[in-house]
Amino acid sequence: MDDLTPSYEPDAGQVILEGRPAGPAGEAGLVPVAGVDLAFDRHDGHLVRVVADADDQGAARLLLDRLFGPQAARVLGQVVSRRAEPGAPYPHRFSPEPTLSAALSSLARLDAVRDTSPVPRRSPWWAAEATVLAEQAGLHDRARAEARRLHGIIAPHHACAPGLDVAAEVEELEKKDAAQRPGLNWALDPALVPAGLLRPGLSPHSDLLVRYDDGEGTVIVEATLAAGADNADADRCLVRLVDPAVRRVLAQSDCRVTGSRLHAELRLPWPLDELDEAWIEVVEGMGRPVRSAQARLIRRALRWADTALRADRAPAGLAPQASAADWAALAALAREQCRQDWAAAGDSGRASAQLTPADRASGPACLAEMLGY
């Protein structure tokens, strides 16, 4: 089940090893050494793909030999020699060494969790755990870099995710279909804003606080700033209302910092009820292209999967008052929302797949979320 089949892409000069595709939780990427890109399933942890520079004889070759055995680089060289058949699969299949693959997978998935966690990236526990995982994987340069980052962090020991209430989140999600205006959607994409600016919520629904004022014809959007966020980063951000069907910006507004929040008000050119579908997004800078509806649904499906995986871990540091039942209810709702978004995006395979806790890979521990700072 974990075997990968190689092929060669001459235009890119890369050998690609493909395994089972990622499921509804998507992929966690890792560049362990220059010249090698790995992708792991965020739910069960299996190795999805390896992309390696074909002519690299240094650290990349050594890593491939460690991951797939001492003959891996030689066999991959034979794949490269079949230049007359670009893209043709090679009959040899590769099986990753389980212990090393598990360590690399845990590190990749820790990096992915750090990007979407309510606990800021500057928490020392992210770097501490990454140091250990990198050393276990034999990535000594990465371990030293994380250790230096840990040494340079000065972080107060206080809860960085105050006010997170799992029971209230569940209640909001259960009633949102009745309360939310038809066709109004939103999702916070960390890739579209400066790193470390905004604190994600417990789910996509609470990533942004959205209110519609009928009388004024405005949509008020707020997002919570991460601890230590730079106000200069906030000044470069815009909040937009877009129509993905025609990839058009309907309204946009500069952001301002109000207390611990990023605040914007969108004045609509026509009543919201007249829109079939509209999405709210926070972006850095002008001129970013408007993504398609399918791309947005996929991104939100992945965010719901991220919510489900976090809820399955039930990290006490994020919500000390939450019960096991609260976390279980949030996980169930997030899995269903994930399924709905994958179905709406036209991916029936991922819509029918299950993010069951029993199939979740062990590790990483996500110490920063367990401790809450």
Tell me, what's the pLDDT at 198? 92
pTM recorded for the entire structure: 0.90
Nearest to 190 by CA among 287, 98, 275, 306: 306
Q: Given phi > 0 = left and psi -120 to 50 = alpha, else beta, which region is 268?
A: beta
Tell me, what's the pLDDT at 159? 44
Tell me, what's the pLDDT at 177? 57
Mind listing the pLDDT tens digit for each residue in 24-76?
Answer: 999 999 999 999 999 999 999 999 999 988 776 788 888 988 999 887 777 77
- Long-range own/partner contacts, residues 56-64 (CB < 8 A, 24 or more apart): 59/33, 59/34, 59/35, 60/33, 60/34, 60/35, 60/36, 62/33, 63/32, 63/33, 63/36, 64/36
Tell me, what's the pLDDT at 87? 52
Residues of the chain with pLDDT under 70: 1, 56, 82-91, 154-163, 177-183
Tell me, what's the pLDDT at 178? 46
The gap between the terminal CA atoms of the chain, to the nearest Å, is: 38
Here the tokens at position 204 are 């996509």
Tell me, what's the pLDDT at 88? 54
Tell me, what's the pLDDT at 158? 53
